[in-house]
Structure 1
Amino acid sequence: MAEVLVTGGSGYIGGWCTLALLNAGYSVRTTVRDLSREHKVREMLRRGGADPGDALQVVRADLAGDDGWADAAAGCDGVLHVASPTLTKAPKNDDEMVRPAVDGTLRVLRAARDGGVRRVVLTSAIGAIAYGHEQRDTPFTEQDWTNVDAEGIQPYQKSKTLAERAAWEFVRDGALELATVNPTGVLGPVLGLEYSPSLTGIARMLDGSMPALLPFATGYVDVRDVAALHLLALVEPAAAGERFIATAGRSLWLRDVAAILRDRLGERAAKVPTREMPLWAARQLAKVNPQVRQLRAALGRDLAATSVKAERLLGWKPRPIEDTIVETAESLLALHH
C-alpha cells in the first residue's frame, strides 16, 4: 500500500495518523478545508519529528461539498477518514451537526469506492457506542451502539453514531472494505494548538479554570496508540468489516485523573482541583453551560469500555494511561510557556 489519503490532516488525530504513516514509509495525501493551512500541517509534523517533503501532498477538500474528493482519493490504496465537521458555536438543532457528519462520511466513501480504494478506516468514537444505556456492570464492547433516541444524547454523540451507521450501510454491497476505530477520551502530546476535548479538560485542570471536577468516568487512550490502531485496521486482513474500541486499561473518574496529575507533577499541578462537584450541581450546570451539556448523558456514570478485541485480533498494545496523562500535561505546559 503505497499512498494513503488522510482526511483532516490539520486535526489532532489526523496529524498523528499522518505522522505514523510517514514513519512507516507511506506516501500521504491529506485534505484541508483551506490550502493556507498547509504550512500548519507541515509545522505540526516537524514538531512530531518528521519532515515529509514530497512524501506528503496537501489537497483542498471540504466535507460540506463534493469538490476535490474524487481527485483526493484517486490512486490511493487506502483512506483514513479522520475529519469530522466542526461547529464554532453550539448547534441550534441536532441536524446542524448530524447532517454534515453523515453527508461528509458518504462523500468520502463514494470518492474512495469510485477511485478504486481497497479499504477505508473511519474514525468513529465511543460516542457511537456507550451512550443512552442503563447503568451496567460490564464494559461496553463493539457490539454496543449508542441509543440516539435516549434522553440527554447530544448532537456530537448522535452525529458520530449516525455517520458510522451510514458508513456500514454504504459498504453492504461489498465494493469497499471498512473498519472503524472508536476511541475513548484521546490524550497525549500536542503537535499544535488544535487538540481533543479530553485534552482541553486537562488544560483547564492545569490552568485553574476548572473550579471543581465533574462526576463521570470514561476510558482514555494515547493519541499515538489511536494512530497505531488506524494503521493496523488499514493493513491487517482480519480488520475488514470490524469495529475496534481504542482504550487503555480501566476507566477513570476525573478525580482519578486529577490525583495522577497532582501525584506525578507536584508543584506544576498546584491549580488542579481537588473537589468533585455533587451530581445534582453538575446536572444543573449542564442546563446552562454548553461544554458540560455535551457530557450530560455521562454525568454520574462510568462509561467503561474494553479494547480486548483490538488487542486479540490485531495485536494492538496501548501504553499505560498514567504515563500518557503525565506526558499530556507536560506537553500542554511546554506549549503555553
Structure 2
Amino acid sequence: MYTDKTVLVTGGAGFIAVHCILQLLNAGYRVRATLRSLSREPEVRAMLKEGGVEAGDRLSFIRTDLSSDTNWNEAVKDCIYVIHVASPTPIVNYKHEDEMIIPAREGVLRVLRASRDAGVKRVVLTSAIGAVVCGHPAQTAPFDETFWTNTSGKAPAYQKSKTLAERAAWEFIEKEGKGLELSAINPVGVLGPVLGADYSHSIHIIKNLLTAKIPGTPKLNSGFVDVRDVADLHLRAMIHPAAKGERFIATAGESIWLVEVAKILKDNLGQSAKKVPVKEIPSLLLRIAAFKDPKLKSVIPFLGTVINVTSAKAIHTLGWAPRSTKEAVLATAESLIRLRLLDQ
C-alpha cells in the first residue's frame, strides 16, 4: 500500500489541508506539510489522530511563509505533487484591497516557481467559489467553471484576491510553467468534521447557529460541501490525466438559504439544537448594523442573492461523488459538540 512518492501540502494546519493530509496518508503517500510555525506540529498530529491516523515518520514538516522565498525550494524537493491549500487569512479591517490581493497572488506564484524548478509533476491549487460567481447579473442557470468573477465590478476584496491569484496561476503555467501541470479546485462553503480548533470560516456559520450568537439567520444563499469530499476531489485532480489544465467546482448540490441550514440542525439534533434560531433577519436591519460592524460589511453584497453552482464537471470527469448538504451540515455540528468547541 505504501509508496515512496512524496506530496507537499501547504498550510498544513488548515481545515482543508489536514483532511487532505489524512487522505494522502491513507492512500499510502508520504506527506511533507508547510507551517508558518513548527510549534504547530503537535496540534496537526493531534488532529490527524482525531481523524484516525497516526502519521509517524510518513509525515514531516517544514517552516515556510507565503510572503517569503525562504525554504520553498527545500519544501518542494523530491515531491511529485503539490497540493497548495495555504492562503493569506482574510483581513477584516483592511485599508486597501491590495493588502489581500498582493499576498494571495505573490504566494501562489512563489509556490509555482519552486514547484517548476524542482520538477514537480502537478500542482493542485485550492481556489474558491469566490473566483467564479461574483460581479455577474442574476441568472437562473447554475454557474460552472467557465465563469470568472468580474474583478472590475464590485467584487469584495477577498473574492477579488482569490480570483486574481488563480488567474495569475493559470497565466504562469501558460507562459512560464515549462511543463508543470495545474488543476484548481473551487469549493463553496466548506463544512464537515472538525478535527481540532483550527477550522474554516464556514464552520462558524454552524457554530453561530448552535450557540444563537445571532438572533436569526441572514437572508444568505450558498452551496455547501463536506471537507472530506473536498479533500477527495483534490486527490482525484492530483492524479487523474483529465484534470490537467482544468478547474473543478466543489459543491454537494444546489444552494440553500441559511434558514434551511438552521432547520436541518433543528430537525435532527434535538436538545443540542434548542438555541438554533429559525427566523430570518430582515436584510434592512443587517445593512444598518453593517455601518458599525466591519464583519457584517462583507456579507451585505450577497443578501437576497441566489448563488447556485454545479459540480457536474467533477462528477462526470473525475468520478467524484459528494455527500449531501444535510450530511455535511450535521457532521459539522456533531463534531463541534463532540469536541466541545462551542464554548471556545
TM-score by length of 1: 0.97
Deviation at 1:88, TM superposition (A): 6.1
2:306 corresponding residue in structure 1:
302
Contact 1:132 1:297 in 2 (8 A): no
1:144 corresponding residue in structure 2:
147
1:208 corresponding residue in structure 2:
212
Q: 5+ unaligned residues in a row in structure 1: which ranges?
A: none
* Large movers: runs of 4+ above 4 Å: none
**Correspondence list, 1:282-301, <5 A:** 282-301=286-305
Contact 2:91 2:100 in 1 (8 A): no
SS of alignment partner, residue 77 of structure 1: strand
Deviation at 1:89, TM superposition (A): 4.6
**Correspondence list, 1:124-203, <5 A:** 124-151=127-154, 153-173=155-175, 174-175=177-178, 176-203=180-207
1:335 corresponding residue in structure 2:
339
From 250, 265, 270, the counterpart of 1:266: 270
Q: 5+ unaligned residues in a row in structure 2: which ranges?
A: none
SS of alignment partner, residue 65 of structure 2: coil
Write the letter of the residue equivalent to 1:163.
A
**Correspondence list, 1:89-100, <5 A:** 89-100=92-103
Write the letter of the residue equivalent to 2:265.
L
Deviation at 1:157, TM superposition (A): 0.4
Aligned length: 336
User: How large is the Cα RMSD of the aligned pairs?
Assistant: 1.2
CA distance in structure 1 between the partners assigned to 2:291 and 2:315 by the alignment: 39
Deviation at 1:212, TM superposition (A): 1.5
CA distance in structure 2 between the partners assigned to 1:160 and 1:22 by the alignment: 28
Contact 1:79 1:119 in 2 (8 A): yes
SS of alignment partner, residue 181 of structure 1: strand
Contact 2:90 2:158 in 1 (8 A): no
Write the letter of the residue equivalent to 2:84.
H
2:48 corresponding residue in structure 1:
45
Deviation at 1:196, TM superposition (A): 1.1
Percent of aligned positions that are identical: 53
SS of alignment partner, residue 244 of structure 1: strand
Contact 2:101 2:164 in 1 (8 A): yes
Deviation at 1:246, TM superposition (A): 0.2
Contact 1:61 1:68 in 2 (8 A): yes
1:243 corresponding residue in structure 2:
247
Using a 3 Å threshold, how does the CA distance of structure 1 residues 125 and 312 change in structure 2: closer, same or farther? same
CA distance in structure 2 between the partners assigned to 1:128 and 1:295 by the alignment: 16
Contact 2:62 2:75 in 1 (8 A): yes
CA distance in structure 2 between the partners assigned to 1:17 and 1:333 by the alignment: 23
